[in-house]
Chains A and B, each alone.
Chain A
């Protein structure tokens, strides 16, 4: 909890880390000044890109005392205005799941290697990033906490599978290796309320530690302050739930 008499400072900058195939990829890294030790969070951007919103989110986590690291998942695809890059990736079927997982693992390994790390790392994302966060919690045995915000396509039908997204993430539910927090809007169309029900039932059946919070007046992307989908009371509560969850699992 920040109080007004405290000194506060952070460093936020673009760095490079090793991602999939050992590639150097751009990464936005925001961290509190000071020796730490600090917990860390890998911030997975949404499909609209590695954009200003995600830089704000990353800095917000640093303000709350986390080493926050957000890799550019489209770094190999193109560079330019984030929307233009994301439009090109959208037209090309999105980023491949295997590559995203390796990039996320690279980001986690990087922050865990720092002397200022407390040895714990969480993962968080929204929309396609929420899907990737859940997938990372299942496929990468490195995280201590997973936050999935309205992950679209966590449950995919056979007709939705592609070479780049060849497996529906919920198929990996048994492999989830960390506590999961899920935040969802009941008015969302992806995931639908029915899909969230199924997702929760599968977690329960697998005996996983999870918390789902569902907001009846919210739709998709209710944290996005720059868009009409922003829902103030749901967003404020969602941020509180997320920081509480990270505090309990990453301290």
Chain B
């Protein structure tokens, strides 16, 4: 908003928004004013699908430390899952 610091990356997966589940297309990660979290700045993550309108959005607003912990947790989880030869991600 004021910082305009935002990274966009494509996504595959599903998100559960106001109208239920929808296929994800992008994640927008910004370091800017949150709408609800009680700080001047937050790490805001919006999982969106623009093709389905702006309401197709799953939003979280995190403190910077929370965002780092989330990023680390995702990496750790990925490393554990990818190290297990019995786990393969595939379309059922």
B55 CB contact (under 8 Å) in A84, A86, A219, A229: A84
Instruction: Give how many A-B residue pairs fall within 8 Å (CB-CB).
Output: 80
Q: Is the CB of A205 closer than 8 A to any CB of chain B?
A: no
A93 to B1, CA, bound (A): 8
A190 to B39, CA, bound (A): 13
**Segment of B3-11, B65-73, B77-85 engaged in the interface with chain A:** B3-11
* Chain B residues with CB under 8 A of A162: 4
* Chain A residues with CB under 8 A of B6: 90-91, 93
A160 to B55, CA, bound (A): 29
Give the shortest distance, in Å, between B48 (CB) and chain A (any CB).
7
- Residue-by-residue, is B6-37 near A (CB-CB < 8 Å gives 1, otherwise 0)? 10100000000000000000101010110100
* Chain B residues with CB under 8 A of A81: 54-55
Report the contact-size class of chain A (Cβ under 8 Å from the partner). Answer: 20 to 34
A221 to B2, CA, bound (A): 12
A88 CB contact (under 8 Å) in B32, B35, B48: B48
Q: Is the CB of B40 closer than 8 A to any CB of chain A?
A: yes
Q: Taking chain A's interface residues, is the majority helix, strand, or loop, or is none over half, making it mixed? A: loop
Q: Is the CB of A83 closer than 8 A to any CB of chain B?
A: yes
CB nearest to B28 among chain A residues: A91
* Chain B residues with CB under 8 A of A90: 1, 4, 6, 28, 30, 32, 44
Contact B2 A47 (CB under 8 A): yes
A84 CB contact (under 8 Å) in B33, B38, B44, B57: B57
Give the shortest distance, in Å, between B16 (CB) and chain A (any CB).
15
- Residue-by-residue, is A15-30 near B (CB-CB < 8 Å gives 1, otherwise 0)? 0000000000000000
CB nearest to A48 among chain B residues: B35
B4 CB contact (under 8 Å) in A84, A93, A127, A221: A93
- Residue with the greatest number of chain B CB neighbours at <10 A, chosen from A80, A91, A228: A91
CB nearest to A79 among chain B residues: B54
- Residue with the greatest number of chain A CB neighbours at <10 A, chosen from B8, B48, B57: B57
> A84-B57, A85-B54 known; 15 other A-B pairs, CB under 8 Å?
A78-B54, A79-B54, A86-B1, A86-B35, A87-B46, A87-B48, A90-B4, A90-B44, A91-B26, A91-B46, A94-B4, A127-B33, A131-B2, A188-B40, A229-B40
Q: Residues of B with Cβ closer than 8 Å to A? A: 1-4, 6, 8, 26, 28, 30, 32-33, 35, 38, 40-41, 44, 46, 48, 50, 53-55, 57, 59
Q: Residues of A with Cβ closer than 8 Å to B? A: 46-48, 78-81, 83-88, 90-91, 93-94, 127-128, 131, 152-153, 160, 162, 165, 188-190, 219-221, 227-229
